[in-house]
Structure 1
Amino acid sequence: AFTASADFPQIVTDDSGQFGYATWHSDVSGELIIFTSSDFGNNWALAVNTLTASRPQIATSSSGQYTYVIWQTVGAVIKILGSDNFGSTWTFRDNSWTGKAIGGALQNIATNSSGRYVYALWFDNTPNVKIFISSDFGFTFSDAGAFGLGAATGNITQITTDNIGRHVYAIWGNSSNLITIYFSTDFGITWTSAGTFGTGANSRIVTSDTGQRIYGIWSSTIIYITRGISSFFPLTLIKAKTI
């Protein structure tokens, strides 16, 4: 057990389960906390606890060697930390983006199996939806563009990719609270809208290892699940199903 009062705890592991990474925001100190384990979760070591943070999110590669954490500072600036040695040391990644995130919207980060391709998604203070992409293990990021206005507050975003990193899917609520999905089939360089799917919040999206099967979920007056089947170019079917 960890003695802490925390918001937004997140945990990930490598494919084998040997390497575990946990992060949260401390309600007491306001700091970003990262713990790591290299023995299947039997023992945990504190890796980071010196940075002010809000709403951290974490992703790791299949081997667990490459791990990335994204968060907002107190001033709502987006920051990314990365580790390329199984969590032993952590360094700041490129933060050349301008503008600030909007409070209340949850940023997100994803990586492919090798850890080479990294995708970050957040709402800036416009509040435009922003996607940044990296093809060099997160050391440099490029702006993939703005994707219209996002919901001003209380929205959860998510971005996901296949094992290779070629097929990427992002979901969020737009300024009209319509669930919106965009996808890329070229490692995040260009993006296409898959449309909107009715009003909702707290959206999540996952994809299969190949990127061919995609599933989204969000909350409304009832829970919605959407299923996508991709022939890789273009996305040929997305439909909503209620449960």
Structure 2
Amino acid sequence: MTSEVKFFVSVGVITLLILVGGVFLYSNKASENVKPVEESILVKEDSTKMVSASASATFVEFGDMQCPACAVAHPTTKQIRENYAGKINFVFRHFPLLQHKNAQIGAKAIEAAGEQGKFWEMQDIMYDKQDEWGEKDKPLDIFMGYAKELNLDEAKFKSSVDSNKFKDKIDGDTYDGNQAGVDATPTFFINGIKYTGSYSYDDVKKALDDAMRKK
């Protein structure tokens, strides 16, 4: 290789490194300057949540009970909910997608269980067994089995799922999600900043721990 060729190769490599470094710095700078979504949009009085007076972070999930990705991510969010109890505010908001035919009734089912103090337990079962009911024509028949498993008042549970009492809450959650820029499920917000990493527990934990240190 001639000296002239070596020179141009070196210049090319240096230029590439500068460009990559510039993009990296710009990306970091951009992420630092992201404006958080207002808490008044992300958390409402009627939101299903576990809160703590000493919380140093707020974790909000917008989810769809029939969403396969939500079911995949659920072990992580369940761990976060359990391991950070008393340390953070954990909030779940509904965002049922139109392409999922049982997403709406799925949302109603966990709300109906929530009336009897079993929101999270019903959510756990429904995500774990999503394949059992996700595409069924009569998912309520299957939900009744879950209600029995949780020792719920089955008649009350069925009556609530059959009613429209949760419509305003579910529609309100969806509206707020749209306002917050949610375009897929699950979508997480940590202290108002949309989380864009993987669904692995370690990655979500790192983002949450970083946010708690900055609080």
TM-score bucket of the superposed structures, by smaller chain: under 0.3
Name the structure with the higher strand share. Answer: 1
Q: TM-score, normalised by structure 2?
A: 0.26
Q: TM-score, normalised by structure 1?
A: 0.24
| Greater RCO, 1 or 2 (C-alpha within 8 Å, sep 6+) | 2
More helix by share: 2
